[in-house]
């Protein structure tokens, strides 16, 4: 079913994922979440892809968040185990995508839609869109890192205004508050996102990806993995490793040089 609700395309060095359910304001169900995870896996595996974009179909919404019909009937244990934890796992993987990710908000981003946008490294927003975290008005709690990743990225005070007070922000106010990086006229979001992605793709891909990982670590995103992957890559190019591997193959004690 997700095939009709998620579109995945490659445009040169750019991978583009489109939430394609405009009649439901691109609200997310479990099949769509699974399809986003598949997008992450395929993009990670494609060495020709240097940047990625996530956007929505239609003119009204990037995503209105989780589809209430998809979770309202779940029992508490299933809701916690399947809906919340699966969503967290997928959003975490998207935030840790090795290639820089740009979110193109072609319209409103509410609740889980804003949490999805916050997994991106850069956010382009069309001028007619609004963003917010309406969950507490429905007696719900933001469930896909709205109280965690969003606070790390944007600060607690502005998130409290949305999550506790129910405030919604238009594009220009969101830009002034640092919630988005660029505002463009209606209908020009994808072109602006592609221009950013093309600029990123022209830079050294390894340096870009390592820099993204280090910045993520500074924000508290995958800190342990960032430290170990960079350290591991450094060790992998040493003469010590060559000697260690050779001694293992030859079943002898290693003879390491002084450093």
Give all strands (DSSP E) within the chain, no chain letters: 6-11, 14-19, 51-56, 61-63, 101-105, 108-110, 122-126, 130-132, 168-170, 182-184
Both tokens of residue 77?
Answer: 């244990």
Structure tokens at 131: 């963003």
- The side-by-side arrangement of strands in the sheet containing 168-170 is 61-63, 108-110, 130-132, 168-170
Known catalytic residues are 115, 135
d(CA 95, CA 103): 11
Task: Provide the angle, in degrees to the nearest 10, between the axes of the packed helices 223-236 and 205-218.
Answer: 140
Do residues 62 and 17 make contact, with C-beta atoms less than 8 angstroms apart?
A: no
Cα distance between residue 182 and residue 91, in whole Å: 22
Q: Which two tokens stand for residue 243?
A: 């000697």
Gap between the Cα atoms of 72 and 198, Å rounded: 41
Q: At what angle do helices 85-95 and 30-45 cross, to 10 degrees?
A: 30
């Amino acid at each position: 079913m997700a095939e009709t609700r998620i579109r995945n395309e490659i445009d040169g060095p750019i991978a583009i994922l489109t939430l394609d359910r405009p009649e439901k304001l691109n609200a997310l169900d479990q099949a769509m979440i699974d399809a986003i995870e598949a997008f992450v896996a395929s993009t990670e595996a494609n060495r020709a892809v240097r940047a990625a974009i996530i956007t929505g179909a239609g003119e009204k919404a990037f995503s209105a968040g989780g589809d209430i019909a998809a979770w309202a009937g779940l029992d508490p244990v299933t809701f916690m185990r399947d809906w919340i934890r699966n969503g967290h796992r997928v959003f975490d993987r998207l935030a840790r995508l090795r290639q820089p990710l740009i979110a193109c908000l072609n319209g409103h981003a509410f609740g889980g839609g804003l949490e999805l946008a916050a997994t991106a490294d850069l956010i382009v927003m069309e001028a007619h869109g609004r963003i917010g975290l309406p969950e507490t008005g429905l007696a719900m709690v933001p469930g896909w890192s709205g109280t965690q990743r969003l606070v790390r990225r944007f600060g607690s005070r502005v998130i409290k205004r949305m999550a506790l007070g129910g405030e919604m922000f238009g594009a220009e106010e969101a830009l002034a508050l640092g919630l988005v990086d660029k505002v463009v006229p209606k209908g020009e979001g994808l072109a602006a996102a592609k221009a950013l992605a093309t600029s990123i793709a022209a830079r050294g891909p390894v340096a870009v990806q390592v820099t993204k990982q280090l910045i993520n670590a500074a924000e508290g995103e995958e800190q342990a993995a960032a430290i170990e992957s960079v350290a591991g890559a450094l060790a992998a190019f040493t003469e010590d490793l060559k000697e260690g591997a050779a001694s293992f193959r030859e079943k002898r004690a290693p003879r390491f040089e002084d450093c």
